[in-house]
Each structure stands twice: as C-alpha cells, then as structure tokens.
Amino acid sequence: MASIELKNIRKTYEDGVTVIDNMNLEIKDKEFIILVGPSGCGKSTTLRMIAGLEEISGGELYIGDKLVNNVSPKDRDIAMVFQSYALYPHMSVYKNMAFGLKNRKVPKEEIDKKVKAAANMLDIEEYLHRKPRALSGGQRQRVALGRAMVREPAVFLLDEPLSNLDAKLRTEMRSRISMLHKELETTFVYVTHDQTEAMTMGDRIVVMKDGVIQQFDTPQMLYNHPKNMFVAGFIGSPQMNFIECLIQKKSENYYADFTYYSIKIPNKMNDYLKMYENKNVILGIRPEDLSIADKNDKENVMELYVDIAEMTGADYYLYGKINNEKFIANVSSNQNIESDKKYKLKIDVDRIHIFDKINERLICD
Amino acid sequence: MEKNMKKYFPVFVLPTFVAFTVVFLIPFVLGIYLSFTEFTTVESATWVGLENYIKAFTQDENFKNALWFTIKFTFVSVITINVISFFLALLLTKALKGTNFFRTVFFMPNLIGGIVLGYIWNLLINSILGVFGFDITYDADFGFWGLVFLLNWQLIGYMMVIYIAGLQNIPKELNEAAMIDGASPFSVLKNITVPMVMPAVTICLFLTLTNSFKLFDQNLALTGGAPARETSMLALDIYNTFYGRIGWQGVGQAKAVVFFLIVAIIAFVQLKITGRKEVEQ
Amino acid sequence: MMKSKISHWISFAFLLFLSLVFIFPIYLVVINSFKSKFNIIGEPFSFPDEDTFVGFENYIYGIESADIVGSFFRTLIITVGSVVAIVVLTSMTAWYITRVKSKFNKWIYYLFLFSMIVPFQMVMYTMTSISVKLGLNSVLGIIPVYLGFGSGLSVFMFSGFVKGLPSEIEEAAMIDGCGPIKTFFYVVFPMLKPTAITVAILNAMWIWNDFLLPYLLLGSNNKTLSVAIQLTMQGAYGAIDWGGFMAMLVLAVIPIIIFYLFCQKYIIKGVVDGAVKG
C-alpha cells in the first residue's frame, strides 16, 4: 500500500535518445492507474522505471515517501506481471508462485498458505503441480497474477498483461483484475495500448504520446472533456470524427460551417469562440452523438452518403465521407438502413468539441 | 538490471577470461612476435625480421612438401567425405529398415580419438599390405590414401547426421508440390533437395575443410610422416620443427603463423562463398 | 511397386555391407587382442584358434605395463573437471556479456569467436612455456588450460541461446528478490540446460581424446589414455608387444563405445546442434 510520485522524470538511452522528459505524475494509494497510448509512447518505459528495471536518467521517483531512484527492484516492495507472463519454465506453478517468498525467507507453512489462497482465488488449484508449458494462455496469465499476488506488494505493476489473450478471455480477465484490485486494496499501475481496457478498468487514466502525458483524468472526464485532439481521438470507439469548419457569427450566434452545412453552436461556448471568428477550427463529433434525423428536424442536420452500413445488433455503424475524410456515425437500429444510400443525421450539438486547428488543443466543449 | 549486474563482472566473466587470456590471447600475440625472432626459450628471443619466413619457404623442403601434401589431402578428403555422407544421408532418410542401427554404426568411429584411430588403421592397412609384402611406410602414396580412408571412416558418420538433420528440415510439402508439378526424382534432388540443404552443406564443408587441414593426431599415429617425412602434414611438420630441430623454433613459429593465416583465409572465403548460396527460409 | 521393393533391398544390402566395412577395423583389433603376440603380424585376419588364443593375457600385460588404469582415471578426472568448469563458467560469461551491452563486452565476444579458427600449433609453443611457468602442468592444473581453449566455442554457443531467451523472465526473478548470481543459477541456468548438454558433449569428446595438449603439459609422468598409447608405440622402436598394444587399444575404445551406446541420442543431437550453431 503506497502512493507513487514521479517528479521531473527523464529517460535518456545510452545512444542519446530521450524518450521521456520532465514527466510528473502523482498516483494515490490504492488507486488503479492505467498508462495508455500508442506503441512507443513511453508507457512501458515509465512502468519499468517504477519497477526499477530501467534506470532513471533524471528526476525523482518516490514509492510511499521513500526516494527509490537507486533502490533495486527487489527492495521496492513491488510485484510485476509481464506481457509474456515470464513464468519460470522449469518450475511448477506452485514453485513459480512460491519463489519470491522463498527468496524473502518466508516460513514454509506461510508460503504454502499464501500460495494456496491465491490459487484458490484464481481457480488454478488443480494446476499447481504442472509446468507452465502444460498450461493454456489464460491459465498462465492467472499464474502470473498469482505470483504477484502472494507477495502482497505495496504496488502492483502490470505490463500489457492481456494482450496475448484472445478477445473473449480478455474480457473475462478484465473483470477478474478489477475484482482483484478491489480485494487486494493495493496500488495498481497498468500499461495497455487498448483504450477499452483503460476505460473499463482504471480509476484514473494517463494518456501518453511521444513520452509526454497528454491528460491524466478519470475515464468520464477523458471521454467527455478531452484536452486535445489526440486524447479525443484515442479515447472512444469508434473514433471521434474531426471536420474542419469555419466559425461565423450570425446575429448573436456562432455557426460552424462545412460543405453545405451550418451547425449552430450552443451559446455556452460563445465566450471561447470570439477569437476564432472567421477562422478555421476542427469540429469534433463522436459517432454516438449522431442520430437519424426526424422529418421535422431542420437545425443541425447533415446528410451522409452511407458507403457501408454495419448492423451489430443494437446499433448501426454508418461509414461515409465528409470533406473527403472518413466519417462514422453510430445510430440505434430502429429503422432499416442500407448501404449506398443517403441519410439525414442530426448532430447533438451540446456534445460537440471544438479544437484549435494549429495546436490541436480543445477550445471548448 | 544492467546496472545491478555490472559490478558482477569479476564473478561472471573474469575466471573464463583470465584462463582464455593466459592460454590463448597472450600466447597468440607472443607467438606472432616470436615468429620474427630467433629463440630457444621465450626469454632469449632476438629480433631477426622476416628471416624465419624466408627460411621456411627457401631452406625447408619439408615445409613445402607438407603444404602440398596437406592441400592434396584436404581436397580429396573433403570431396569424398561429403559426397559419401550426403549419399548415405539420402539413403537413411528414405525410411528403410534398420535406419537407427546404420546411423549408430556409421557415427561411432567419430567418438574414437585420433591417436587410437591412427593405430587401428595402422594395423588394418599393414595387415592388408602385409599380404603383398609391403607396409604403410613403403610408399608415400600408401600413407596418403591411408589417411584419406581413415578420415573418411572417422568423419562420414558425423557429416551424415548433419545432412540427415538438414534433409529432415525440408518441408514434405515442397517435395510433394514438385512431384505434382511433374518433376522427376533427379530434378527434385537438384532443384529442391540440394538448394534446401545448403546450410548443412556450408557447415559440413567448413568442418571437413578445417578438420582435414589441421589433422595431427591421426597423421602422427598412422604414418608419423614416414617415409622420410613425405607424409607429414602441416601440423605435424610444424610440431617436428619446434621439437625436433634445435635452433629452428623461430622457423616453427613462422610456419605456425603461415598455417594460421591459411586456415583463417580458407574459413573466411569458404563461409563467404557457400553462405551466399543458402536459401532464405 | 516391384521395382521399388528391389531397390529397397539393394539399398539395404549396400548399407549392411558398408556397416560391416565400418565395424571391420574395430573387429580386427578385438580379435587380435586375444591372440598371442607372435601370431598377429603374420596372420592378422585369422580368428584366434587353439594355438593362437591367449585369453586375457594381453589385457593383463597391457594394464600392467602401460599404466592403463591410472591413465584411464587421470583422463576421467581431467575430462570431468574440465567439462564442469567449462559448462559452468562459460555459461556465466556468455550470459553476462550478452545481457550487459557494452563495447568492452562485445570485444570480448569477438575475441572468443576469433579463437575458434586459430589452429593449436599457432599457440602450442608459447602456451606450453607459459603454462609450465604457472605450474599448470599437472592433472588439476590442466583444467584451467582446457577452460581457456574450450571457451571460444562454448561461449559462442551459450550466447546464441541466451540471445533467444526473453529477458523478462530474468527481470521477474530480480523483482522476486534475486540478485544476479541467484538469478543465474536458479532461473537462467536451468533454461540453458539443452545447450549445456550439447556443450558438455562436444567438450567431453574433444578432451577425452585429446593428445597433444596433455602430451606437452603432462608428458610421461601423468599420462592420459591417448598419451599412454602413443608413448607405448613411440618408446618401443619396433620392438612392440603387438598383443598388449591391441589390448590397450580395445581398453581405450570400450568405455567410449559403452558411453556412446547409452547416450547416443544426446551425443548425436549435441553434435548436430553444435554444428548448426557453430
């Protein structure tokens, strides 16, 4: 049980490449934190620095109140679950789980108790005497979790633990890990490139790109109020639509104009848009904030030529193009929708996001 | 992790590296230096420049003789060993009866040491030649072919198991595809089998080349160079120069340097040439 | 169908014949080892009969006159000691220089590689003088010498294997509370086992049969099997007791063949792996 604090952390490799510069992050005790971002964004490096597997080139790292920059991994009171599971191939499941405790000179009976308790919790009791190679991917994953659990560490580090599993198992393991976090009441730091994992599991999420934290917030805040176009595009599936448009003021209202359409922007945003009058901005609309328009709807309606309509059961995904850019709408499937036809879509203007075209930052939403 | 490990250099690397330095690195460098000196002990060396090398090539018929003998021997052995062992590997991968037994028998001589091998063949060849009233030291040709037979006997099984491994690595579908394409058995061998076992060929050529060229124990035991050093190969000739001719140690060392250079060049060139012919899988 | 059956039988007969050719030299030595020394030179191919059969007389003579038993155990000690030292120490070295990536370690690695193509004669004289000066000319002293000469191939083979191992397992061990030494012996070395067997077999075959190195360093005081056999022949100047000598050859070959028949699978696999990686 411990908080983690990163102060001005920097990572420079021997060849002189800096992958993380001046990173600051405060993780509270017992929080479930997700580091998410595309590959190469520095999320794994950050985790490995917390673990002590990667040297810290600059700045300070605290676990609890202790400065741990020069503390070796085994003395940081952490446990880690690796993407490849990293089970010891020559040891049985039992020995894999007991190994860390044995190294810490925990009495045999206590080891036995802890291993069995963890195995019980993870449903791997019957495999305790098998070698890892005789287990399926999902079972190995649970052994890896168990190995970390028995140590009762202050901090639990997980590096893409689910990415080697198939889709169905992944969903199952997601809830298992969330449950585990509830029961263990320790700090979890979890790295993934999958935004769905991030959104469903994290108390708070760190969205990273090119070694820089883009936004650190709760899932709700990331979804509803992304701070920039990267976060807006990364969080949410399917991706947010971005349309370049011109801001114009007509009477007391602002309008966003693109192709033949003019969208009326809600008045709550007026203050933010003064500086952008007659300028181009990026309009962000989530697919799920679109719906099939009624005949009566006149305002904030646009037309989409649907190239492909995919029905998933409850919803339709409509794929088309606006301004030569891919455009997706996610509408409920009350009506029958066909490919290669035009449909009128109503935009929920209260939920639109407007971004600066140059620095891609949020102007208002 | 690297940082944690760094200070363990003395534990992990030093024992091996010290042994390696003492018995290989220092002797190697010292050996190159001594080849330019006249010496009877390591401490008594006096610089003579290239004189040892000149002596080796101009005043020592044995050396040129040994060089030529070694080249001829290597040429014949490499071809015979590889052709026969490849052929045997083909036969033994055809799922005949008794494959395991044959493999066991053919491989066995490889485990017997060079000295013992040499004397076993000494007995055999002398027994056969004895019928006609000769022995192996009667003619250098006897020694030459004796060594060729001996090395074939020793290495065929070794190369054969490497070829078998290479042949077994060829996906069956490839042969089947070729047969459906209407290829004759010979065409399959030429166009599929041989190109696909090129990695094994590279290895076997390399091993037979260096083993033949560096042959010592078998040479010493089978002929000892007789008659009149005509069947001395390079390694034995260098040994005899060092320990048989007082005052010629410098020349022996110079010969050893030449020997090393030839082996290094052969190894390098051979790996370059056959390495290029390998099929990327 | 008929044709392929016939060709099968021809192949089989050919292989059987060739097997006999392969076994014949050993057979010849064995039958002569049971004949009286006067009957070997004249009639080497004949099977021992009432007149020529001498039972184990040659063996007793061979064992007594040439210290074969002593040589056998000496060779065994040297081989086992050297192989253990090589397997343990070079695997440690290979792991370290593969995992700790520095220019210096890369150089060390290339030096080990380089040593593999240098013929023994190149360092024969200088190595012998240095080793004698350091007192390595004894049964135990020769073990570090073998370590030095065996390190090239062994480090190369272990490094090849370590490169293919995911370093995450080692990281997991470090987090589980192991320092580098514990990590190596509890986690890395067990994973290296297949390569360790290969390295052990290749080195054992070489050291057991080696002649020149023990001849130069140990000479006639501490003969190994190969040295004993060579010295028997060399010292006799033609006045050799052929019967005793045949018995010595058989005694030298039998342990290897027994070992081979029991560990054939590992030996052949070791040789193939060694060749493919070397």
SS3 state of residue A166:
coil
Record: contact B4-A55, CB cut-off 8 A: no
Establish if A63 touches chain C: CB-CB under 8 angstroms: no
Of A198, A215, A234, which closes a domain? A234
CB C171 within 8 A of CB C251: no
Establish if A87 touches chain C: CB-CB under 8 angstroms: yes
> Would you say how long chain A is, in residues?
365
Quick one: A123 and A198 in the same domain?
yes
Question: Which residues in chain C are closer than 8 Å to B124, comparing Cβ atoms?
Answer: 24-25, 28
ipTM of the complex: 0.91
Closest by CA to C203, choosing from C80, C74, C111, C76, is C80
Question: What is the pairing mode between strands A32-36 and A187-192?
Answer: parallel
- In single-letter form, the type of residue at position C169 comes to I
Outline where B132-197 has alpha helix (H).
140-168, 172-180, 185-188, 194-196
CA dist C5 and C11 (Å) reads 10
CA dist A148 and A171 (Å) reads 21
Q: Give me the domains of chain C, ranges plus CATH numbers.
A: 61-277 (1.10.3720.10)
Handedness of CA B195, B200, B201, B206 (dihedral sign): positive
Candidates B7, B17, B20, B274, partner chain C, best to mutate (most C CBs within 10 A):
B20
CB A309 within 8 A of CB A351: no
Q: Which 8-state DSSP code applies to residue B189?
A: I
C47 pLDDT band, cuts 50/70/90, is confident
Question: Which residues in chain C are closer than 8 Å to B115, comparing Cβ atoms?
Answer: 209, 211, 226, 229-230
Quick one: A198 and A300 in the same domain?
no
Token pair, residue B24, equals 């290989």
Quick one: A189 and A307 in the same domain?
no
Question: What is the pairing mode between strands B46-47 and B37-38?
Answer: antiparallel
Per-residue pLDDT tens digits for B113-153: 999 999 999 989 988 888 888 888 888 899 999 999 999 99
Share of chain C above pLDDT 90, in %: 56
**Cis upstream peptide for A238 (omega within 30°):** yes
Quick one: A209 and A263 in the same domain?
no
Quick one: A298 and A206 in the same domain?
no
Q: Torsion angle of alpha carbons B255, B259, B260, B262, nearest 10°?
A: 140
| Region C239-265 average pLDDT | 87
**Per-residue model confidence (pLDDT) at position C1:** 47
Closest by CA to C65, choosing from C243, C218, C217, is C243
CATH number at residue A79: 3.40.50.300
Of A178, A204, A234, which closes a domain? A234
Question: Which residues in chain B are closer than 8 Å to C124, comparing Cβ atoms?
Answer: 238-239, 242, 256
CA dist C109 and C97 (Å) reads 7
Closest by CA to A254, choosing from A288, A283, A289, A223, is A283
A280 pLDDT band, cuts 50/70/90, is very high
**Per-residue model confidence (pLDDT) at position B281:** 40
Ramachandran area for residue A16 (φ above 0: left; ψ -120 to 50: alpha; else beta): left
pLDDT > 70? residue A82: yes
Per-residue pLDDT tens digits for A302-356: 889 999 999 888 889 999 988 888 999 999 877 788 889 888 999 999 999 999 9
Q: Which of A84-98, A136-150, B65-79, C232-246 has the lowest mean pLDDT?
A: C232-246
Establish if B3 touches chain A: CB-CB under 8 angstroms: yes
Token pair, residue A194, equals 């999958």
B280 pLDDT band, cuts 50/70/90, is very low
| Region C182-208 average pLDDT | 93
CA dist B188 and B246 (Å) reads 59
Distances in Å between the Cα of A77 and the Cα atoms of A154, C94, C180 are 6, 30, 18
Quick one: A72 and A136 in the same domain?
yes
Record: contact C173-A88, CB cut-off 8 A: yes
State the chains in contact with C (3 or more Cβ–Cβ pairs under 8 Å): A, B
B271 pLDDT band, cuts 50/70/90, is confident
Look up the domain containing A90 and give its range.
4-234
Token pair, residue A43, equals 């999320």
Ramachandran area for residue C267 (φ above 0: left; ψ -120 to 50: alpha; else beta): alpha
Q: Which of 44-83 (B) contact C at CB < 8 A?
A: none
Quick one: A23 and A79 in the same domain?
yes
Per-residue pLDDT tens digits for C117-141: 899 999 999 999 999 999 999 999 9
CA dist C52 and C32 (Å) reads 9
Record: contact A103-C172, CB cut-off 8 A: no
Instruction: Give me the number of domains chain A comprises.
Output: 2
Candidates C170, C176, C185, partner chain A, best to mutate (most A CBs within 10 A):
C176
**Cis upstream peptide for C44 (omega within 30°):** no
Quick one: A285 and A313 in the same domain?
yes
Per-residue pLDDT tens digits for A255-272: 999 888 888 999 888 889
Q: Which of A146-160, B138-152, B168-182 has the lowest mean pLDDT?
A: B168-182
Question: Which residues in chain A are closer than 8 Å to C175, comparing Cβ atoms?
Answer: 51-53, 73-74, 78-80, 100
Candidates C17, C97, C109, C125, partner chain B, best to mutate (most B CBs within 10 A):
C125
Q: Which 8-state DSSP code applies to residue B25?
A: I
CB B218 within 8 A of CB B114: yes
CA dist A110 and A118 (Å) reads 12
CATH number at residue A298: 2.40.50.140
CATH assignment of B65-277, among 1.10.3720.10, 3.40.50.10490, 3.30.365.10, 3.90.180.10: 1.10.3720.10
**Per-residue model confidence (pLDDT) at position B8:** 92
Outline where chain A has alpha helix (H).
43-51, 93-103, 108-122, 137-149, 167-184, 195-201, 219-224, 229-234, 270-273
Of A185, A211, A234, which closes a domain? A234
Per-residue pLDDT tens digits for B80-98: 999 999 999 999 988 677 8
Q: What is the mean pLDDT of chain A?
A: 91
Q: What is the C-alpha radius of gyration for chain A, rounded to an integer number of angstroms?
A: 25
Instruction: Tokens 């595009």: give the residue.
Output: A233
Closest by CA to C184, choosing from C169, C194, C195, is C169
Quick one: A227 and A170 in the same domain?
yes
CA dist C108 and C95 (Å) reads 13
Residues in Cβ contact with C181 at an 8 Å cutoff, skipping those fewer than 6 apart: B8, B11
CA dist C121 and C212 (Å) reads 10
Residues in Cβ contact with C155 at an 8 Å cutoff, skipping those fewer than 6 apart: B16, C90, C93, C94, C97, C109, C112
CA dist A289 and A232 (Å) reads 14
**Per-residue model confidence (pLDDT) at position A215:** 95
Quick one: A318 and A193 in the same domain?
no
Outline where C164-220 has alpha helix (H).
167-175, 180-182, 189-191, 193-209, 212-217
SS3 state of residue A83:
coil
Record: contact A86-C166, CB cut-off 8 A: yes
Smallest CA–CA distance from B4 into chain C, residue: C180
- For chain B, give every domain's residue range: 65-277
Record: contact B107-C209, CB cut-off 8 A: no
